[in-house]
Every structure is written in structure tokens, then in C-alpha cells.
Amino acid sequence: MKQSVEALRKAGLILTPQRLAVYRYLRDCHDHPSAEEVYREVKRDYPSLSRTTVYAALEALCGAGAIQQLFIRHDRCSFDPDPTGHSHFLCRRCLRILDVDEEHPAADAGSIEGHRVESVRHYYYGVCRDCLSEDASDEEET
């Protein structure tokens, strides 16, 4: 809890129980959930919480740089509690979004061709190792 409070204060956000609950859920979740998934999960502990409040909390957290919004899927946006520059991989079979550790030279340089770089988003699409492993298991059984 103390870590979450410090992270939100560092981001310059006014602490509210709702923002803290949303941030804590994202920090503990490794699935890159959508706003609707965040709402459903946080509402379990806070039954009076409204959808609008959760969406506003997500917007404030993104605006302050405490979390990042991902546009890797065409049908929804997802959220990542790690705002640092890193890539993501979307499995086209199971639709999981996975973090990929990768260097972004342009982001580290701070500029590219005279333009100031503020963030880099790099998305990979394909089939994750778990789904590939299932395919191999299915082939062995036949």
C-alpha cells in the first residue's frame, strides 16, 4: 500500500481511494486489462464504485504518467502499470498481451532527426510460446 501511495504522490496526483484502488489492482495484475475489466475487478471490493469513476481514475493515472495505455488490440485499449518504455506482444490466438524487454535507442537518445521523443510504443503480433507449446502437444497426440 505504501508503495502505491508513494508512486501516486510522485506522479503528482491527488490521492483518492478510487485512484489508489485502481492503481493497486493494475500493479498486482499482469494481464494488461481493459478499462471494463479493471472496473469489474475493483468493483468487487468497492461495490458502490461507478464505471465513470474508474474511467476517470484511469485517465488521471495515464495523464500523470503513473500507468500507460496500450492500443495493441483493435477492439479495445488496455492498461499497463509499468510506464517505462518497453514493448508488448499480442498473441493472436489467446489474445494475451505480454511484456517484451527491448531497448529503444530513439527513446534513450531523447530525439530523432531533431524531434523530441517523449515515448516509444512498439508492438509485436504473433503466437505466444504457450499456444505454440499446445500446438506441439496436439501434434504429438495424433
Domain boundary at 42, 61, 82, which? 82
Domain boundary at 47, 63, 82, which? 82
Q: pLDDT tens digit string along 10-49?
A: 878 888 889 999 999 999 998 899 999 999 999 999 999 9
| HSE, side-chain direction, 13 A CA sphere, residue 132 | 5
Residue 55 binned pLDDT confidence (cut-offs 50, 70, 90): very high
Helix axes 35-45, 17-28, angle to 10 degrees: 110
Other Cβ atoms less than 10 A from the Cβ of 24: the count is 19
- 17 and 34 together in one domain: yes
- Domains of the chain: total: 2
Q: What percent of the chain has pLDDT over 90?
A: 58
Q: pLDDT tens digit string along 77-106?
A: 999 999 887 899 999 999 999 999 877 666
Is the pTM higher than 0.85? The answer reads: no
Range of the domain at 120: 84-142
Domain boundary at 82, 109, 130, which? 82
Mean pLDDT of the chain: 88
**What pLDDT does residue 71 have?**
95
- 55 and 96 together in one domain: no
**What pLDDT does residue 106 have?**
62
- 47 and 19 together in one domain: yes
**What pLDDT does residue 32 have?**
96
- 113 and 60 together in one domain: no
> For the stretch 117-130, what's the b/e string if a residue is b when 16 or more beta carbons lie within 10 angstroms of its beta carbon?
beeeeeeeeeebee
- 91 and 75 together in one domain: no
d(CA 101, CA 85): 9
- 72 and 39 together in one domain: yes
- 38 and 55 together in one domain: yes
